[in-house]
Structure 1
Amino acid sequence: MAHHASIKGVRVAAVSAAIRYRNRDDLVLIELPQGTQCAATFTRNAFCAAPVTLAREHLATAKPRWLLINAGNANAGTGARGLTDAQACCTALAELTQVDPAEVLPFSTGVIGEYLPVDRLTAALPQALSALDEEGWEAAARAIMTTDTRPKRATRQFQLNGRQATLTGIAKGAGMIRPDMATMLAFIATDVAIEPACLQHCLAQAVEGTFNAISIDGDTSTNDACVLAAAGSLGNQPLSALTSPEVGAFQQALSSLCEELARAIVKDGEGATKLVSIEVGEARSVSEARQVADTIAHSPLVKTALFASDPNWGRILAAVGRAGLDDLDIEKVRIRLDEVLIVSAGGRDPEYQEQAGKAVMAKDAFSIGVDLGRGDASARVLTCDLSYDYVRINAEYRT
């Protein structure tokens, strides 16, 4: 599978605007061909950043021709001026490219509460425009990084009525990650033509089980966005029927791509050394299962035990017990590390040996399984451990 598959008609550039970082690219421009359909999901944080507010508004009024993304400054917590600044950047690009400012969607990531250096950003636009290239995705994946230690990029190809269709995407995020949409930006493009309602449905489906089911630290950011652009350059009849096999194939490829990017984000969690899948089953409802999974994923005591490779199952048990479930029958609860049963019938399983639990916890990827014994619904959340480095990275972030 070609990792560097590009999307016909979609051009990407990454340049340096010196917004916060020196000697690295921090500004990305993505050009979408006329007629591209766009779907998006955004943060649910009430203090949503200026670019999120503006991108939502623009998306409601026009079909995007440009995505304008900067790293190093989130333009969040910046009040009315933040909106004016984000709009000024859109207008500057619109003037250079003869489009309506509403056809530009702005995105920002970085430090909260500082004003965007608009002049530096707009001064770099001509250079970005001359650097546009269908092969620009890899450089863009690097340019949107903040505390990420590596770029995140994925591609999927699949057959659509005898043609080879392509999806490609980039993402960033390593901290302040908790759904819904974590400090996380993801930009995905495809050459497939898809009707807008169908496109939004497919994206929502894909995001729900991937980007919205990850947590690094339980903090929901102010800036998250995930955009899916369907350029239509494959030349197929636009997909529209949700039940069609073609939409099924597209959905599968999209969900798989989002899963790869979401896993990459958690794996690159600030200071993370372990990727842990928390799988809760036998719940009365999906939301109840998710509530238990989130409680475990967000427990600092569980997460520090994960870092120490310490199978301190009392911490997991306590998290399940305080997750807020009505009339939980603890006799029916079972807790596992991978295949190793630790807890059953309200206490330590008689067969459990601590070295078996330690062996699982020593791995860099494993699962915590919880069966609640009260139904058949389940949910899964991907998380990581909480290490000394997480504290160091976040204590030093602004210096």
Structure 2
Amino acid sequence: MKITEIKGGVTAAKGFEAAAAAAAIKYQGRTDMALVYSEKPCHAAGTFTTNIVKAAPVKWDQKIVKESPYAQAVIVNSGIANACTGEEGMGYCKETAEEAAKVLGVPENAVLVASTGVIGMQLPMDRLKKGISLLKEAKGSTLEHGTAASKAIMTTDTVNKEIAVQVELGGKTVTVGGMCKGSGMIHPNMCTMLAFVTTDANISKEMLQKCVSADVKDTFNMISVDGDTSTNDTLLVLANGMAENPEITEENEDYKAFAKALNTVNTWLAKKMAGDGEGATALFEVKIVGAESKEQAVILSKSVVTSSLVKAAIYGHDANWGRILCAMGYSGAQFDPEKVELFFESAAGKIQIIENGVAVNYSEEEATKILSEPEVTAIADVKMGHATATAWGCDLTYDYVKINADYRS
């Protein structure tokens, strides 16, 4: 199957529109609300935060995804998270859905909502409702409309994040496009992210949810910036069927091709979030190879990518391999440290650091050069089998503390 990347985001698939609006929810002088809309009803799937403290929009969306036959619109605001806001916060979700239903002409239970920003603040509903009207006036299906939406959902992100790909299913060209935001409070188990993926694929609700739930394990659940699992993590996938491919109702070849396309989009978005971690200067990738099971490889890779000491060493371009071996050692996964091989790799080259658990005679200067690139990979071979896993994170810098010390002010 051939997956082709094209220019675009959430408006790339047939029938989807998007918009951005400046509603002054918290920020001044920038857009802070976004709309994703489909001209036809969509099957919806989603995955959400594992944090016990769940924001009101998460609870609302979980119910819509589970119980509503279809969805047609997503209303997003940045600046205020609508988390830890009690019954009032749930009321805001209902008010938002009611207003969007009235303005957009869709059922209330077809409206999904999402929020990101400061926890504990109440939403200014008068501004948010006005913003919904502004979104309707601004919505369109061009690339620019999708890009505007991707910028409106940013908080501490330094760049917007959007991608689109195409794949052929049953003789029809199917498009999958997505956008996301996420920079801080990001940790495996869905991270502090909002991600929205749209597709014109014709796929049943059951198979869409199955595909999304399976894929998130290898994409969004494999990234970390700071070890904090957010209250608002949401991935929503909308499929409107407008590509008119034969409906996917089982795990056939078309399902596998669609899953590959979705994985391409989600992996790209996940890596962009990890690389745009608050204050980050480098995307840090950790590959575990030669594991005896996928579970072991996942545990080891996550342990390394979340280690503050390892992340600090990456920031300092320091091949401090002992920290990586140490992080693997306390992960809880069993392996023989005296069999481990470790390599560093980037656009500047590849270098072996340890063999059978002991340092080889490598050049510190060459290692530093390799670790000075904006994307750096550590590869650890535990020599126990053929399973692999990859996790993504970023370096830990002074700016991370600066950004989060005054986030509310």
Q: Normalised by the shorter chain, which TM-score bucket?
A: over 0.9
One-letter code aligned to 1:384: C
One-letter code aligned to 2:342: I
Aligned partner (choices 12, 21, 41) of residue 47 of structure 2: 41
Is the partner of 2:126 in helix, strand or coil? helix
State the Cα distance separating 1:42 from its structure 2 match: 0.9
One-letter code aligned to 2:217: E
Question: Alpha-carbon deviations, 1:171-220, whole Å to 9, x = none?
Answer: 11111111211111111111121111221122223322111111111211
State the Cα distance separating 1:356 from its structure 2 match: 3.0
After TM superposition, list the pairs within 5 Å mapping 1:320-399 onto structure 2.
Answer: 320-326=328-334, 328-338=335-345, 339-349=350-360, 351-399=361-409
> 1:31: which partner in 2?
37
Give me the whole-angstrom Cα distance separating, in 2, the residues matched to 1:247 and 1:218. Answer: 34
Aligned partner (choices 303, 306, 317) of residue 314 of structure 2: 306
State the Cα distance separating 1:98 from its structure 2 match: 4.2
Give me the whole-angstrom Cα distance separating, in 2, the residues matched to 1:236 and 1:329. Answer: 50
TM-score, normalising length: structure 1: 0.94
Question: Alpha-carbon deviations, 1:51-83, whole Å to 9, x = none?
Answer: 000111122221112111111111112222211
> 2:246: which partner in 1?
237
Q: Which structure 1 residue ranges, 5 or more long, are not aligned? A: none
Is the partner of 1:276 in helix, strand or coil? strand
> 1:57: which partner in 2?
63
State the Cα distance separating 1:158 from its structure 2 match: 2.1
Give me the whole-angstrom Cα distance separating, in 1, the residues matched to 2:252 and 2:40. Answer: 28
> 1:6: which partner in 2?
12
Give me the whole-angstrom Cα distance separating, in 2, the residues matched to 1:223 and 1:179. Answer: 14
After TM superposition, list the pairs within 5 Å mapping 1:125-136 onto structure 2.
Answer: 125-135=132-142, 136=145
One-letter code aligned to 2:185: M
Question: Alpha-carbon deviations, 1:284-319, whole Å to 9, x = none?
Answer: 322222222112111111111100101111211221
One-letter code aligned to 2:183: A
Give percent identity, aligned residues only.
Answer: 38
> 1:121: which partner in 2?
128
Give me the whole-angstrom Cα distance separating, in 2, the residues matched to 1:20 and 1:290. Answer: 38
State the Cα distance separating 1:347 from its structure 2 match: 2.4
When residues 131 and 373 of structure 1 are mapped into structure 2, their CA distance, relative to the original with a 3 A threshold, is same
Is the partner of 1:198 in helix, strand or coil? helix
> 1:16: which partner in 2?
22
State the Cα distance separating 1:235 from its structure 2 match: 2.0
TM-score, normalising length: structure 2: 0.92
Give me the whole-angstrom Cα distance separating, in 1, the residues matched to 2:380 and 2:86. Answer: 43
Give me the whole-angstrom Cα distance separating, in 1, the residues matched to 2:393 and 2:210. Answer: 26
More moved, 106-115 vs 201-210: 201-210
When residues 64 and 336 of structure 1 are mapped into structure 2, their CA distance, relative to the original with a 3 A threshold, is same
Is the partner of 1:181 in helix, strand or coil? coil
State the Cα distance separating 1:366 from its structure 2 match: 2.1
> 1:275: which partner in 2?
283
Give me the whole-angstrom Cα distance separating, in 1, the residues matched to 2:296 and 2:171. Answer: 43
Whether the 8 Å CA contact 1:59–1:102 is kept in 2: the answer is: no
Q: CA RMSD in A?
A: 1.7
Whether the 8 Å CA contact 2:172–2:244 is kept in 1: the answer is: no
One-letter code aligned to 1:100: P
Q: Which structure 2 residue ranges, 5 or more long, are not aligned? A: none
One-letter code aligned to 1:209: D
Aligned partner (choices 174, 198, 201) of residue 189 of structure 1: 198
> 1:256: which partner in 2?
264
Is the partner of 1:311 in helix, strand or coil? coil
